[in-house]
Amino acid sequence: MRHLIILLLVLAACKNGKRQHFELKPLRPNVQEFKSGINRNRIDYFYVKGKFTYEKLNYALLEKKVKTKFNSAVVQDYDLYSLYIYRDADLSQKKHDGAVNTFDGQNEKLVAYIRYKQGKMDIFYIIKNGKVVFDLISGNEEYFEFDE
């Protein structure tokens, strides 16, 4: 019986390991730079390739991937630096004009919204079906409509 329990634990661990495998891939247009008054702003767009599930373990993994991917020197060049991460690669197949707000109206497909203000991360929302479900900055579960 003990061997069966150990086997089940090993299988569960392997299943959890597979569940966490995902990458961040750029959407096109993947970068938009614009001015708002005297402020220089930038938005980067990505999608999750692989299986992302809404579990705290994956939230931490996503945060790690974001922090590894983005050079803090580049982030500090902008007053506001935002990242939109979508779950649906189909967005990359659509034709976009490259204008600011290209992906407006796609909140249902958002996985995360991250914002750096003057080089410091001040927002990291996990989003499911257009609703913020977790705030990684505070570490709290949330439930409110994401508004761009």
Per-residue pLDDT of the chain (148 residues; tens, 9 = 90+): 554 444 445 555 555 544 458 888 888 767 778 888 888 999 888 999 988 899 999 999 999 988 887 766 678 789 999 999 998 766 655 545 555 556 666 788 899 999 999 888 999 999 999 999 999 999 999 999 998 6
Distance from C-alpha of 125 to C-alpha of 138, rounded to nearest angstrom: 10
Domain of 43, in residue numbers:
21-145
Residue 9 belongs to a domain: no
Any domain includes 10: no
How far is the C-alpha of 1 from the C-alpha of 5, rounded, in Å? 6
Does any domain span residue 16? no
Residue type, 117: K
Handedness of CA 64, 66, 67, 68 (dihedral sign): positive
* CA neighbor of 83 nearest in space, from 22, 34, 125: 125
- Total domains in the chain come to 1
